[in-house]
Amino acid sequence: MQWVWIPLAIALSGLCFGVSHPSGKARWPYAAWASVMGIGLGAAAVTGNLLVPVVAHLVAVQRPGNCEDAHPYLLLFC
């Protein structure tokens, strides 16, 4: 019975993830993309290893050419 709630929890956490990122009327595509990514990160968290979604988020945030204000741990991806 508990497995019924896991997809709902993943979807809800993904929606919260998308809403928590900067959004507005002009940025709704970004909020939608962040929601989809949040669902993926939530599904990765179900593995029981929180390091999987944390590393996935760090890699997704760090884009080439965005190294000026990068966290020192992320300079590896620049």
pLDDT in 10s for each residue of the chain, 78 residues: 567 788 898 999 899 888 887 666 677 887 888 888 889 888 888 878 888 888 877 777 765 555 555 555 555 555
User: CA–CA separation, 18 vs 65, rounded Å?
Assistant: 24
- Find out whether 37 and 58 touch, Cβ atoms under 8 Å: no
Please give the model's pTM, rounded to 2 decimal places.
0.64
* pLDDT score recorded for residue 28: 80
* pLDDT score recorded for residue 78: 54
Three-point CA angle 59, 19, 27, nearest 5°: 80
User: CA–CA separation, 40 vs 57, rounded Å?
Assistant: 10
Residue ranges covered by each domain of the chain? 2-77
